[in-house]
C-alpha cells in the first residue's frame, strides 16, 4: 500500500539521483552523485567517515535539500517535498525514539502526523508490533527496553506507514556483535518479505556484503564504485576501492609490453606477468600506468623459491589470527608490505617464524588491474 500521492509509473526506477550535490558553506559533502534504486532492492552504502553517506540519506529522506541535482521517486521530482510528503523514513543508529512516549505511541507517531484516525492508528501499530515480536511491550516506555527491542520499535515506527523505501543509517553499529548478527538476519528477512527497497549505510563490510543486492562505495562525496557485492569484491574499480575493501596487495606498475591478453608489468618489486582477461582495452596497452591488485588469499607463500612467473622474496614481520586463517605480514627488501592469507593447510607446510625469508607468488590470472588516477594522493 503506497500512501504517496504519486502514481506508480511502473517504468521509472523507484529512486533516481541525478547529479546530486550538497555543500555546506565551502564543504562539498556530496558531489555529483548519480544512483538508481529499483523497487525491492537492497542497496548498501559504504565509505570512510565523512564521505557523504549520511548526507545522501538525509537528502533522500527530505531532511536536507540538495544544492544541485534532482531526486526522483517513482519518476517524480521530490526535492522540494517535505519528509512527510515523500514516504522515505529513516532509521538512525541513535534510533531517535521519543523517550516520553510508550512503545505503541512511538509506532503510531508517523500515522498521527498523517492524520490517520485513532482506531486505525492503533490497529496498524498493533499489527506492526506483533510482526516484530513486540506485542507484549506496547505499553512500556522505550527506556525500559533492551537494545534489540528498541531497534525493532524504531523499525516498526518507520514501517507502519508502509513506505516503498526505508533508509537506514548504521542501524546496528551500537549493538554487540551477536545481537548485530541476529538483527542482520531479521532485517534481511523483513526486507525480502515486505519487498520494499532498503538503502543501508554501514561501516561494516561483512554486513554490506552479506545483506545487499548492490553495494555503493563512496569517497569524498562521490560514488567510487557501485555494483553487485561479488563484482566489487573481485573487481575493485580503483586503488581506493581495493584499499578500502582491505585484504588487497597493490603494486604500482607500468605496462611494458602486451602480447594478446598477457601483460608484462614493471614494478619497484620486479617484473610481473598479468593475464588481462576480460579487462582488455586500450587503457592497458604498453606505456599505461596502472595499479596491480592481488588479493591476500590469492598469494602463496613458500620457504624456497619456486619457478613462479610472479614471485617476490620477502621477510615475515608479523602474523595476525583471523579465526580459521592467519594473515602473514611480510616486507620486501625495498620496504613494500605484502599481506598473505594462509589457511590451516598452508600453516602445516610452513613455519611462520618472524624474520624468516619467504617467497610470495601468484598466478597471472589472479592479477586485477586498475587505472591509476591522474591526481594521485
Ligand atoms: P558520513 O555519513 O559518510 O560520515 P556525512 O554525510 O555525515 O558523512 O558528512 C559529509 C561531510 O559533510 C563531512 O565533511 C561533514 O563534516 C560535512 N557535514 C555534514 N553535515 C554537515 C552540516 N550540517 N554542516 C556542515 N558540514 C556538514
Ligand atoms: Mg554518517
Measured in Å, residue 216 CA sits from the centre of ligand 2 at 14
Measured in Å, residue 200 CA sits from the centre of ligand 2 at 11
| Whether the predicted pLDDT of 173 surpasses 90 | no
Q: Which ligand 1 atom minimizes the distance to the CA of 30?
A: 10
The Cβ of residue 117 has, within 10 Å, a number of other Cβ atoms equal to: 10
**322 lies in a domain?**
yes
| Cα(304)–Cα(306) distance, integer angstroms | 6
Share of the chain above pLDDT 90, in %: 66
> pLDDT confidence of 277, banded at 50, 70, 90?
confident
Query: Of 343, 357, 242, which Cα lies nearest the Cα of 299?
Result: 343
Identify any residues that bridge with 30 across adjacent strands, giving them in sequence order. 22
Question: Are both 257 and 180 inside the same structural domain?
Answer: no
Better-predicted residue by pLDDT, 123 or 3: 123
The cell numbers describing 216, all together, are: 555503493
The cell numbers describing 208, all together, are: 554490506
Q: Answer whether 50 contacts ligand 1 (Cβ < 6 A).
A: yes
Measured in Å, residue 94 CA sits from the centre of ligand 2 at 11
pLDDT at 282: 60
pLDDT tens by residue, 325-353 = 999 999 999 999 999 999 988 988 899 99
Question: Are both 269 and 361 inside the same structural domain?
Answer: yes
> pLDDT confidence of 3, banded at 50, 70, 90?
very low
- The domain spanning residue 335 has which CATH number? 2.40.50.100
Question: Are both 38 and 180 inside the same structural domain?
Answer: yes
Mean predicted confidence (pLDDT) in 310-331: 94
Measured in Å, residue 330 CA sits from the centre of ligand 2 at 34
| Cα(365)–Cα(38) distance, integer angstroms | 34
The Cβ of residue 274 has, within 10 Å, a number of other Cβ atoms equal to: 28
Domain count within the chain? 2
> pLDDT confidence of 324, banded at 50, 70, 90?
confident
**173 lies in a domain?**
yes
User: Which ligand is in closest contact with the Cα of 170?
Assistant: 2
| Cα(186)–Cα(179) distance, integer angstroms | 10
| Cα(250)–Cα(338) distance, integer angstroms | 9
Assign residue 205 a region: left if phi > 0, alpha if psi is -120 to 50, beta otherwise?
A: alpha
| Cα(66)–Cα(76) distance, integer angstroms | 16
Mean predicted confidence (pLDDT) in 51-76: 94
Of 211, 234, 257, the residue that ends a domain is: 234
Share of the chain above pLDDT 70, in %: 94
Of 200, 234, 268, the residue that ends a domain is: 234
Question: Are both 340 and 212 inside the same structural domain?
Answer: no
From 23, 28, 50, mutation site for ligand 1 pocket: most ligand atoms within 8 A of C-beta: 50
Question: Are both 267 and 211 inside the same structural domain?
Answer: no
**364 lies in a domain?**
yes
- The domain spanning residue 203 has which CATH number? 3.40.50.300
> pLDDT confidence of 116, banded at 50, 70, 90?
very high
User: What is the pTM for the complete model shown?
Assistant: 0.89
Question: Are both 136 and 252 inside the same structural domain?
Answer: no
**306 lies in a domain?**
yes
Question: Are both 286 and 213 inside the same structural domain?
Answer: no
Q: Answer whether 21 contacts ligand 1 (Cβ < 6 A).
A: no
Question: Are both 292 and 190 inside the same structural domain?
Answer: no
Q: Whose CA is nearest to atom 14 of ligand 1?
A: 50
pLDDT at 6: 46
| Residue matched to cell numbers 575493485 | 236
Query: Of 329, 334, 316, which Cα lies nearest the Cα of 251?
Result: 334
pLDDT at 172: 86
**2 lies in a domain?**
no
From 20, 24, 57, mutation site for ligand 1 pocket: most ligand atoms within 8 A of C-beta: 24
Of 234, 259, 284, the residue that ends a domain is: 234
| Cα(179)–Cα(338) distance, integer angstroms | 34
Question: Are both 200 and 101 inside the same structural domain?
Answer: yes
pLDDT tens by residue, 159-172 = 998 899 999 999 88
Identify any residues that bridge with 362 across adjacent strands, giving them in sequence order. 310
User: Which ligand is in closest contact with the Cα of 24?
Assistant: 1
pLDDT at 176: 85
Q: Whose CA is nearest to atom 24 of ligand 1?
A: 24
| Cα(325)–Cα(339) distance, integer angstroms | 12
pLDDT at 1: 40
Question: Are both 126 and 275 inside the same structural domain?
Answer: no
pLDDT at 279: 64
Measured in Å, residue 49 CA sits from the centre of ligand 2 at 7
Mean predicted confidence (pLDDT) in 312-325: 92
**8 lies in a domain?**
no
Q: Answer whether 22 contacts ligand 1 (Cβ < 6 A).
A: no
Mean predicted confidence (pLDDT) in 25-47: 96
Question: Are both 211 and 256 inside the same structural domain?
Answer: no
Q: Which ligand 1 atom minimizes the distance to the CA of 52?
A: 6
The cell numbers describing 222, all together, are: 562521490
Better-predicted residue by pLDDT, 172 or 107: 107
Which of 60-64, 125-129, 278-282, 329-333 is least confident? 278-282
Q: Which ligand 1 atom minimizes the distance to the CA of 48?
A: 3
Q: Answer whether 55 contacts ligand 1 (Cβ < 6 A).
A: yes
The Cβ of residue 351 has, within 10 Å, a number of other Cβ atoms equal to: 8
pLDDT at 328: 96
Give the Å distances, CA to CA, from 79 to 72, 84, 217, 263.
Answer: 8, 13, 23, 48
**356 lies in a domain?**
yes
pLDDT tens by residue, 89-101 = 777 766 678 888 8
- Where in the sequence is the domain holding 46, given as residue range(s)? 13-234
Amino acid at each position: 500500500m503506497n500512501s504517496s500521492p504519486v502514481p506508480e509509473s511502473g517504468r521509472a526506477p523507484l529512486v533516481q539521483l541525478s547529479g546530486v550535490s550538497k555543500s555546506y558553506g565551502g564543504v562539498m559533502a556530496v558531489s555529483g552523485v548519480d544512483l538508481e534504486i529499483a523497487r525491492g532492492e537492497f542497496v548498501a552504502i559504504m565509505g570512510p567517515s565523512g564521505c557523504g553517506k549520511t548526507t545522501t540519506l538525509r537528502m533522500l529522506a527530505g531532511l536536507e535539500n540538495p544544492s544541485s541535482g534532482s531526486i526522483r521517486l517513482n519518476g517524480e521530482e521530490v526535492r522540494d517535498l517535505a519528509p512527510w510528503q515523500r514516504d522515505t523514513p529513516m532509521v538512525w543508529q541513535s534510533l531517535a525514539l521519543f523517550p516520553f512516549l510508550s512503545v505503541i505511541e512511538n509506532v503510531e507517531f508517523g500515522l498521527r502526523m498523517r492524520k490517520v484516525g485513532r482506531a486505525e492508528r492503533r490497529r496498524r501499530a498493533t499489527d506492526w508490533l506483533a510482526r516484530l515480536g513486540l506485542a507484549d511491550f506496547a505499553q512500556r516506555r522505550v527506556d525500559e527496553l533492551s537494545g534489540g527491542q528498541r531497534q525493532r520499535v524504531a523499525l516498526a515506527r518507520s514501517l507502519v506507514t508502509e513506505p516503498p523505501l526505508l533508509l537506514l543509517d548504521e542501524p546496528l553499529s551500537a549493538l554487540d556483535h551477536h545481537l548485530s548478527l541476529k538483527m542482520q538476519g531479521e532485517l534481511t528477512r523483513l526486507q525480502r518479505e515486505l519487498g520494499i527497497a532498503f538503502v543501508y549505510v554501514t561501516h561494516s563490510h561483512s554486513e554490506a556484503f552479506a545483506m545487499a543486492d548492490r553495494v555503493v562505495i563512496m569517497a569524498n562525496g562521490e560514488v567510487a564504485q557501485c555494483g553487485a557485492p561479488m563484482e566489487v569484491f573481485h573487481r575493485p574499480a580503483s586503488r581506493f576501492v581495493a584499499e578500502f575493501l582491505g585484504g588487497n596487495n597493490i603494486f604500482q606498475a607500468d605496462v611494458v609490453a602486451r602480447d594478446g591478453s598477457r601483460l608484462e608489468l614493471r614494478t619497484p618489486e620486479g617484473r610481473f606477468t598479468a593475464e588481462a582477461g576480460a579487462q582488455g582495452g586500450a587503457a592497458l596497452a604498453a606505456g599505461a600506468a596502472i595499479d596491480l591488485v592481488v588479493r591476500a588469499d590469492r598469494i602463496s607463500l613458500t620457504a624456497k623459491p619456486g619457478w613462479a612467473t610472479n614471485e617476490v622474496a620477502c621477510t615475515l614481520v608479523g602474523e595476525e589470527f583471523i579465526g580459521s586463517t592467519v594473515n602473514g605480514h611480510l616486507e620486501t627488501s625495498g620496504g613494500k608490505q605484502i599481506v598473505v592469507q594462509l589457511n590451516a593447510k598452508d600453516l602445516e607446510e610452513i613455519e611462520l617464524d618472524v624474520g624468516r625469508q619467504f617467497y610470495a607468488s601468484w598466478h597471472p590470472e589472479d592479477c586485477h588491474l586498475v587505472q591509476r588516477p591522474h591526481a594521485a594522493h
